[in-house]
Structure 1
Protein backbone atom coordinates (compact mmCIF):
# COMPACT_ATOMS: atom_id res chain seq x y z
CA UNK A 1 0.00 0.00 0.00
CA UNK A 2 1.20 3.49 -0.86
CA UNK A 3 0.93 6.20 1.79
CA UNK A 4 1.71 9.88 1.35
CA UNK A 5 1.92 12.48 4.06
CA UNK A 6 1.98 16.17 3.32
CA UNK A 7 4.30 18.22 5.45
CA UNK A 8 4.84 21.95 5.17
CA UNK A 9 8.27 23.19 4.26
CA UNK A 10 10.52 23.99 7.20
CA UNK A 11 10.21 27.73 6.60
CA UNK A 12 6.45 27.64 5.84
CA UNK A 13 5.33 29.86 8.75
CA UNK A 14 7.84 32.55 7.84
CA UNK A 15 6.75 32.50 4.20
CA UNK A 16 3.08 32.84 5.17
CA UNK A 17 3.96 35.70 7.53
CA UNK A 18 5.90 37.44 4.74
CA UNK A 19 2.95 37.12 2.36
CA UNK A 20 0.50 38.60 4.87
CA UNK A 21 2.99 41.32 5.78
CA UNK A 22 3.33 42.33 2.12
CA UNK A 23 -0.47 42.41 1.70
CA UNK A 24 -0.89 44.58 4.81
CA UNK A 25 1.93 46.89 3.71
CA UNK A 26 0.38 47.40 0.26
CA UNK A 27 -3.03 48.06 1.83
CA UNK A 28 -1.47 50.69 4.11
CA UNK A 29 0.28 52.30 1.13
CA UNK A 30 -3.09 52.47 -0.69
CA UNK A 31 -4.69 54.19 2.31
CA UNK A 32 -1.82 56.69 2.50
CA UNK A 33 -1.94 57.34 -1.26
CA UNK A 34 -5.71 57.93 -1.07
CA UNK A 35 -5.25 60.38 1.82
CA UNK A 36 -2.78 62.40 -0.26
CA UNK A 37 -5.29 62.97 -3.06
CA UNK A 38 -7.18 66.27 -3.07
CA UNK A 39 -10.83 66.14 -2.03
CA UNK A 40 -12.03 67.11 -5.52
CA UNK A 41 -10.45 65.16 -8.37
CA UNK A 42 -10.32 66.01 -12.04
CA UNK A 43 -10.94 63.22 -14.52
CA UNK A 44 -7.21 62.65 -15.18
CA UNK A 45 -6.44 62.02 -11.49
CA UNK A 46 -9.62 59.98 -11.15
CA UNK A 47 -8.60 57.76 -14.07
CA UNK A 48 -4.99 57.34 -12.98
CA UNK A 49 -5.15 57.15 -9.18
CA UNK A 50 -8.58 55.75 -8.41
CA UNK A 51 -9.63 53.57 -11.34
CA UNK A 52 -6.20 52.80 -12.83
CA UNK A 53 -7.58 53.10 -16.38
CA UNK A 54 -7.16 55.51 -19.27
CA UNK A 55 -9.19 58.71 -19.36
CA UNK A 56 -10.90 57.37 -22.48
CA UNK A 57 -12.05 54.21 -20.64
CA UNK A 58 -13.22 56.27 -17.69
CA UNK A 59 -15.20 58.57 -20.01
CA UNK A 60 -16.79 55.68 -21.88
CA UNK A 61 -17.73 53.46 -18.93
CA UNK A 62 -18.06 55.54 -15.77
CA UNK A 63 -18.32 59.31 -16.19
CA UNK A 64 -21.39 59.19 -18.44
CA UNK A 65 -23.41 57.39 -15.78
CA UNK A 66 -26.04 59.62 -14.22
CA UNK A 67 -25.52 58.09 -10.76
CA UNK A 68 -21.77 58.79 -10.66
CA UNK A 69 -20.98 61.59 -8.15
CA UNK A 70 -19.81 64.86 -9.67
CA UNK A 71 -19.87 68.56 -9.02
CA UNK A 72 -19.72 71.40 -11.53
CA UNK A 73 -17.44 74.28 -10.59
CA UNK A 74 -17.45 76.99 -13.21
CA UNK A 75 -16.85 75.21 -16.49
CA UNK A 76 -15.16 72.22 -14.86
CA UNK A 77 -16.56 68.94 -13.66
CA UNK A 78 -14.87 67.59 -10.53
CA UNK A 79 -15.39 64.39 -8.56
CA UNK A 80 -15.52 64.30 -4.72
CA UNK A 81 -13.07 61.61 -3.59
CA UNK A 82 -15.18 60.35 -0.65
CA UNK A 83 -18.35 60.05 -2.71
CA UNK A 84 -16.48 58.31 -5.52
CA UNK A 85 -15.06 55.74 -3.10
CA UNK A 86 -18.54 55.18 -1.67
CA UNK A 87 -19.96 54.80 -5.17
CA UNK A 88 -17.31 52.20 -6.02
CA UNK A 89 -18.09 50.18 -2.87
CA UNK A 90 -21.81 50.31 -3.68
CA UNK A 91 -21.25 49.12 -7.26
CA UNK A 92 -18.86 46.21 -6.72
CA UNK A 93 -20.31 43.00 -8.10
CA UNK A 94 -19.80 39.77 -6.22
CA UNK A 95 -18.57 37.00 -8.48
CA UNK A 96 -21.30 34.63 -7.29
CA UNK A 97 -23.83 36.85 -9.06
CA UNK A 98 -21.70 37.22 -12.18
CA UNK A 99 -20.35 33.67 -12.50
CA UNK A 100 -21.97 31.34 -9.95
CA UNK A 101 -20.00 28.34 -11.18
CA UNK A 102 -16.70 30.04 -10.28
CA UNK A 103 -15.59 30.90 -6.74
CA UNK A 104 -12.98 33.63 -6.70
CA UNK A 105 -14.17 36.52 -4.52
CA UNK A 106 -14.83 40.09 -5.54
CA UNK A 107 -14.44 41.24 -9.14
Structure 2
Protein backbone atom coordinates (compact mmCIF):
# COMPACT_ATOMS: atom_id res chain seq x y z
CA UNK A 1 0.00 0.00 0.00
CA UNK A 2 1.32 3.42 -0.94
CA UNK A 3 0.68 6.78 0.67
CA UNK A 4 -1.78 7.62 -2.13
CA UNK A 5 -3.68 4.39 -1.54
CA UNK A 6 -3.86 5.17 2.17
CA UNK A 7 -5.27 8.63 1.42
CA UNK A 8 -7.80 7.06 -0.96
CA UNK A 9 -8.84 4.52 1.69
CA UNK A 10 -9.45 7.34 4.18
CA UNK A 11 -11.58 9.36 1.77
CA UNK A 12 -13.63 6.27 0.85
CA UNK A 13 -14.22 5.33 4.48
CA UNK A 14 -15.04 8.85 5.71
CA UNK A 15 -17.33 10.64 3.26
CA UNK A 16 -16.97 14.01 5.00
CA UNK A 17 -13.16 13.93 4.56
CA UNK A 18 -11.86 15.71 1.47
CA UNK A 19 -8.86 14.49 -0.52
CA UNK A 20 -6.79 17.43 0.77
CA UNK A 21 -7.79 16.80 4.40
CA UNK A 22 -6.95 13.10 4.09
CA UNK A 23 -3.55 13.95 2.58
CA UNK A 24 -2.87 16.35 5.46
CA UNK A 25 -3.95 13.74 8.03
CA UNK A 26 -1.67 11.08 6.55
CA UNK A 27 1.23 13.55 6.29
CA UNK A 28 0.73 14.66 9.90
CA UNK A 29 0.66 11.08 11.20
CA UNK A 30 3.74 10.04 9.22
CA UNK A 31 5.62 13.20 10.28
CA UNK A 32 4.77 12.53 13.94
CA UNK A 33 5.92 8.91 13.67
CA UNK A 34 9.13 9.91 11.90
CA UNK A 35 9.93 12.67 14.41
CA UNK A 36 9.38 10.33 17.34
CA UNK A 37 11.80 7.79 15.84
CA UNK A 38 14.38 10.51 15.09
CA UNK A 39 14.27 11.39 18.80
CA UNK A 40 14.70 7.74 19.80
CA UNK A 41 11.15 7.31 21.08
CA UNK A 42 9.26 4.03 20.90
CA UNK A 43 5.88 4.09 19.14
CA UNK A 44 3.37 1.49 20.27
CA UNK A 45 0.07 0.98 18.46
CA UNK A 46 -1.86 -1.72 20.32
CA UNK A 47 -3.09 -4.52 18.10
CA UNK A 48 -0.84 -3.40 15.25
CA UNK A 49 2.76 -3.29 16.47
CA UNK A 50 5.55 -1.08 17.67
CA UNK A 51 8.23 0.98 15.98
CA UNK A 52 11.52 1.55 17.75
CA UNK A 53 15.12 2.56 17.10
CA UNK A 54 17.77 -0.13 17.29
CA UNK A 55 21.40 0.82 17.99
CA UNK A 56 23.99 -1.07 15.96
CA UNK A 57 27.49 -0.74 17.46
CA UNK A 58 30.58 -0.03 15.38
CA UNK A 59 32.22 -3.11 13.93
CA UNK A 60 34.84 -4.31 11.51
CA UNK A 61 33.52 -5.65 8.21
CA UNK A 62 35.16 -6.98 5.07
CA UNK A 63 35.22 -5.56 1.56
CA UNK A 64 33.86 -8.49 -0.49
CA UNK A 65 36.06 -7.64 -3.48
CA UNK A 66 39.42 -7.13 -1.86
CA UNK A 67 38.89 -8.86 1.48
CA UNK A 68 40.33 -5.81 3.25
CA UNK A 69 39.03 -4.92 6.71
CA UNK A 70 36.64 -1.96 6.71
CA UNK A 71 35.53 0.00 9.76
CA UNK A 72 31.73 0.24 9.86
CA UNK A 73 30.58 3.08 12.14
CA UNK A 74 27.81 2.70 14.70
CA UNK A 75 24.36 3.64 13.57
CA UNK A 76 20.73 3.75 14.60
CA UNK A 77 18.13 2.01 12.45
CA UNK A 78 14.33 2.00 12.69
CA UNK A 79 12.68 -1.36 13.34
CA UNK A 80 9.10 -2.62 13.45
CA UNK A 81 7.79 -5.44 15.61
CA UNK A 82 4.28 -6.57 14.64
CA UNK A 83 1.71 -7.05 17.39
CA UNK A 84 0.06 -10.37 18.11
CA UNK A 85 -3.18 -9.49 16.29
CA UNK A 86 -1.30 -8.44 13.14
CA UNK A 87 0.95 -11.53 13.21
CA UNK A 88 -2.10 -13.79 13.53
CA UNK A 89 -4.01 -11.94 10.81
CA UNK A 90 -1.10 -12.25 8.38
CA UNK A 91 -0.63 -15.90 9.27
CA UNK A 92 -4.31 -16.84 8.91
CA UNK A 93 -5.40 -14.79 5.89
CA UNK A 94 -4.50 -15.73 2.32
CA UNK A 95 -2.26 -13.19 0.60
CA UNK A 96 -4.91 -12.60 -2.07
CA UNK A 97 -7.49 -11.29 0.46
CA UNK A 98 -8.11 -7.64 -0.32
CA UNK A 99 -10.88 -6.62 2.09
CA UNK A 100 -10.18 -3.85 4.58
CA UNK A 101 -11.05 -5.89 7.68
CA UNK A 102 -8.00 -8.17 7.68
CA UNK A 103 -7.18 -7.65 11.37
CA UNK A 104 -9.14 -9.90 13.71
CA UNK A 105 -11.28 -8.18 16.31
CA UNK A 106 -9.90 -8.38 19.84
CA UNK A 107 -12.99 -10.29 20.99
CA UNK A 108 -12.40 -13.08 18.46
CA UNK A 109 -10.23 -16.00 19.57
CA UNK A 110 -8.32 -18.51 17.51
CA UNK A 111 -9.66 -22.03 17.56
CA UNK A 112 -7.71 -24.39 19.78
CA UNK A 113 -8.12 -27.38 17.48
CA UNK A 114 -4.40 -27.98 17.21
CA UNK A 115 -1.27 -26.08 16.44
CA UNK A 116 -0.70 -23.98 13.36
CA UNK A 117 2.28 -26.00 12.27
CA UNK A 118 0.48 -29.33 12.37
CA UNK A 119 2.95 -30.80 14.85
TM-score normalised to structure 1 length: 0.33
Going by fraction, where is helix more abundant, 1 or 2?
Answer: 1
TM-score normalised to structure 2 length: 0.30
